[in-house]
Structure 1
Amino acid sequence: MTRRRKAWIGAVVLALLVAVLGVGFAKRRNAGSVEVETEVLRKRDLVAIVSASGEIQPQRSVDVHANSNGRIVRLAVREGQAVTRGDFLLQIDPVTAQSASEAQSAVVRAAERDTEALRAELEQSRRELGRVRELADKDLISQEELQRSQTTVERVQAQLSAALARVDQARAGLRGSRYELSQVTVSAPMSGIVTRLNVEEGEFAFSTGLSPTLLLTIADLAVMEAEVKVDETDVVNVKVGQPADVTVDAFPDTTFHGSVSEVGTSPILVEGKTPEDARDFKVVVTLHEALPVAREGLSATADVETARTPGAVALPIQSLVVREVPRPKLREAPPDTLEGGEETEGVFVVRAGVARFVAVDVGITGDRFFQVRGGVAPGDTVVSGSYEALRDLDDGDRVRITTPPGDERDRRRREGRASQSGDDGEGADGRDSRDDAQGSATAGDDPEANPRA
């Protein structure tokens, strides 16, 4: 064996020895450490969003009910037809109402004739009283005769007053019967579109009872609204005037802008449920833009912007955890005297390879980030995964940073480039409650859930 070959063999053996020693050193170094993923905190523009689903409704609509009983004898409109206020819509059989009106007219005429007769009788009675009074002054007749004449005048006056009251009563009845007659002709109460036609010519309409017949509905489709149901945990953050983006299932590629115009103060009652079970509230968003094709009842989703914080210190949702922090036993007790613990929200900050639990003050919630108002600062490195690591991690544990899987790494790079361009995409599906935000993070594109317990 040549000297040169011996040198090569020695070099290989030495390299293997160094490799083995390095692996052993690395294993000893990593013994007891936890593999974690981290993220460096920085400032972002955060938007808190409350999302709710519902349907599109016109801002103004009128349900036209039957005000008279009878068969529909004329129908002049069809569903989808445009009408103007005062236009003729339909007519209910007028025979019964017209007969009642004519009968009441006869009652009025009879009462008026009775009144005229009593007026004539009263005039005659007064003349007779005057003649009797002259004779009584000359002592040509007795006082009893004079008293009878005065009584006759008073009686006829009372009868005339009663007749006049009957005339007023008959005329009031005539006005009522004429009004009932006018109700057989149904006219448009407003300008708009006939969005619903519930009857056909020949059907019978009822105006009595608890539910008069709904004939048709007229709506003004120029201004539309999204009526959505908002959960009780979110509705407290929704205010009139807040901006909102509305998406309609029928127009998936278009977002309509609007603002909150109404927030319900009572829960929506659902048939079969008690008020205690109702936990959704009605919120109305008025659209600022016209729909390409306006239809009542289209399914819609509204994203209401309840808060916006530009340049906020952004903490990944999955980084927020809850840990039990010991507290002093008594104020006057030594600091190292501890009793129990208090659950505190915080994050694990990596410092010199060690995870340190730091309590934080959290503000609004965006799509993937919390606003942090205290406890950490931009540039701090916080643990952001994995779920298993965050669930079991304790203050003071040694950690080693691992690289996320390829897909996750690429996603984070894209998010970083989007953030650097001034748009971090916050608020697309955010929630204005921390628990909902964590649920969204769990079910969304981030595989790391939020281990806050």
Structure 2
Amino acid sequence: MKFMRTGALVCLMLAAGCSKLEEKREKGARYRLAPLARTDIVCTVEATGTVTPRNSASGIPVGAQVNGKLVKLFVDYNSEVTNGQVVALIDPQVYEATYKASVAKLEMNKASVARCEAELAYAEKTYARKEKLVAHGMSPQADLDAALEARDTARANLASAQAGVKQCEADVSQAKANLDYCTIVSPVDGIVIDRKVDEGETVVSSYNAVPVLTIAEDLRTIWIEATVPEADIGQIKVGQPVTFTADAYRRRFKGKVRQIRRAATTENNVVTFPVIVEAANPDEMLFPGMTATLSIETGRDEDTVAVTSAAFRFRPKDEDLAKMPPEDIPAGPKLWFVTESGGLEPVAVTQGVADTSFTAVTAKDGQKLEGREAVIGYQTVASANLNEADNPFMPKMPKRNKNKGTAPAPKN
């Protein structure tokens, strides 16, 4: 009997303990909770792009504007050039001869002008004499008419000769320009990234200059032409910081947004806009044509209280809402907290910068939120015994001074 009494007492104690534990669980364990902690939040837009030289998507073409044999190339791939430097030479013999012939023809026309000026001066003097003689009745009118015709003809010949001089001057200018075009020079400071012809080849120019070389303007500063979807383009602003990686290197590079272009491109019903990012390339590690993975920082809030964005998607059940007056439920963004009695309490908040998982928040009434736990959902059978901190599907709060808004780390 003694053992039976002892066993009954133990059973009663266990039942009482289980009842208290179940009561405790009923108050708070019905909900899944997430902490509000102080951290850094960085909002970024991810994109891909292509490294290009400055001011040109594929480099600056340097072409031949005249026909002829390429007799000399002074540069090759990767040669550094300066503005005005001679890079190639086309055989100038034909153009030198044309220039000399144009100069000689100009001199001949200038001599014709001098002869016509002398003829005009003589015709004017003759006309003046004939005019006086006719006035005194010492010469017939026909002589005066002939003198007038001779004077007018001399004037016309002089005008024609002067026009011929202008025509010859234009021919000389054109011949000189063609001769100068035989010497091809670099239009910018940069580096040769492509060569289209070899020495000895004949280049034939038509309406467009025949490309001989392609020069990238000073690769110590490069551009990246990124494509950003229309859903994200509204967040991009000129001057925003950018970090990016290139597949060729296991490091991150930094730049900034230089230009947002309005030339939309539609492909497979997806609209994208080009965004130009400028970055320093002092070691010239980045080559034109490389693919870059970019992270454009559109917002940053350091040392702020944040919560997982899932807390804003929580909606209490109707039976929980029925326990509180409707006027106590604020409109707009709010977080829900568990009260001491196990009920729900809404707190109106102002949302700040948000990344893909967390959102910076401040209470509209000024109360402290750091250290509290917000409700993100109801417990289920599967999650009842699972600690949210150990849940592999729950996003982890970013560490202080670790969230720098950088591009994805290079692959190992």
TM (norm. structure 1) is 0.72
Partner of 1:117: 115
Partner of 1:266: 262
CA offsets per residue over residues 74-128 of structure 1, 9 Å max, x none? 2221100122333221123435544543443354244334323322322332232
Distance in 2 (alpha carbons) for counterparts of 1:385 and 1:267: 44
Alignment pair present for 1:222 and 2:220: yes
Q: CA deviation at 1:311?
A: 3.8
RMSD: 4.0
Distance in 2 (alpha carbons) for counterparts of 1:105 and 1:208: 26
Name the CA shift for 1:426/1:181 in 2 (closer, same or farther; >3 Å): closer
Q: CA deviation at 1:356?
A: 4.8
Distance in 1 (alpha carbons) for counterparts of 2:178 and 2:232: 49
Q: Secondary structure at the match of 1:314?
A: strand
Partner of 1:332: none
Partner of 1:317: 309
CA offsets per residue over residues 8-52 of structure 1, 9 Å max, x none? 554345434543565577668868997543122233332322332
- Among residues 227, 230, 233, which one is paired with 1:232 in the alignment? 230
- Among residues 257, 273, 278, which one is paired with 1:280 in the alignment? 273
Aligned positions of 1:153-164 closer than 5 A: 153-164=151-162
Q: Which moved more, 1:175-184 or 1:81-90?
A: 81-90
- Among residues 281, 288, 297, which one is paired with 2:289 in the alignment? 297
Which amino acid is 1:181 matched to?
A: L
Distance in 1 (alpha carbons) for counterparts of 2:363 and 2:26: 33
Partner of 2:321: none
Tell me if structure 2 keeps the 8 A contact 1:321–1:345: no
Q: Secondary structure at the match of 2:138?
A: coil
Aligned positions of 1:318-397 closer than 5 A: 318-321=310-313, 346-352=334-340, 353-356=342-345, 360-366=349-355, 368-374=357-363, 377-379=368-370, 380-384=372-376
Name the CA shift for 1:203/1:320 in 2 (closer, same or farther; >3 Å): farther
Tell me if structure 2 keeps the 8 A contact 1:205–1:213: no
Point out where structure 2 has 5 or more consecutive residues left out of the alignment.
319-324
Q: CA deviation at 1:325?
A: 12
Q: CA deviation at 1:144?
A: 3.0
Alignment pair present for 1:66 and 2:61: no
Distance in 1 (alpha carbons) for counterparts of 2:339 and 2:406: 33
- Among residues 63, 74, 91, which one is paired with 2:89 in the alignment? 91
Aligned positions of 1:432-447 closer than 5 A: none
Distance in 2 (alpha carbons) for counterparts of 1:105 and 1:192: 37
Q: CA deviation at 1:426?
A: 5.8
Aligned positions of 1:35-46 closer than 5 A: 36-46=31-41
Q: Which moved more, 1:184-193 or 1:18-27?
A: 18-27
Q: CA deviation at 1:314?
A: 1.1
Partner of 1:257: 254
Q: CA deviation at 1:293?
A: 2.6
Q: CA deviation at 1:167?
A: 0.9
CA offsets per residue over residues 328-349 of structure 1, 9 Å max, x none? xxxxxxx989xxxxx9654433
Tell me if structure 2 keeps the 8 A contact 1:48–1:364: yes
Q: CA deviation at 1:164?
A: 0.3
Tell me if structure 1 keeps the 8 A contact 2:245–2:407: no
Distance in 2 (alpha carbons) for counterparts of 1:97 and 1:127: 46
Distance in 2 (alpha carbons) for counterparts of 1:50 and 1:369: 15
Q: Secondary structure at the match of 2:53?
A: strand
Distance in 1 (alpha carbons) for counterparts of 2:265 and 2:212: 22
Distance in 1 (alpha carbons) for counterparts of 2:352 and 2:395: 26
TM (norm. structure 2) is 0.78
Q: CA deviation at 1:175?
A: 0.2
Distance in 2 (alpha carbons) for counterparts of 1:130 and 1:7: 165
Tell me if structure 1 keeps the 8 A contact 2:314–2:377: no
Tell me if structure 1 keeps the 8 A contact 2:308–2:395: no
Q: CA deviation at 1:290?
A: 2.0
Name the CA shift for 1:336/1:25 in 2 (closer, same or farther; >3 Å): closer
Name the CA shift for 1:106/1:284 in 2 (closer, same or farther; >3 Å): same
Distance in 1 (alpha carbons) for counterparts of 2:264 and 2:68: 36
Distance in 1 (alpha carbons) for counterparts of 2:336 and 2:136: 126
Partner of 1:52: 47
Tell me if structure 2 keeps the 8 A contact 1:324–1:344: no
Distance in 1 (alpha carbons) for counterparts of 2:393 and 2:270: 45
Distance in 2 (alpha carbons) for counterparts of 1:296 and 1:44: 38
Which amino acid is 1:57 matched to?
A: T
Greater relative contact order (CA < 8 Å, ≥ 6 in sequence): 2
Q: Percent identity over the alignment? A: 23
Name the CA shift for 1:66/1:19 in 2 (closer, same or farther; >3 Å): farther
Tell me if structure 2 keeps the 8 A contact 1:323–1:346: no
Tell me if structure 1 keeps the 8 A contact 2:229–2:270: no
Q: CA deviation at 1:259?
A: 2.8
Distance in 2 (alpha carbons) for counterparts of 1:40 and 1:153: 108
Distance in 1 (alpha carbons) for counterparts of 2:138 and 2:270: 94
Which amino acid is 1:259 matched to?
A: K
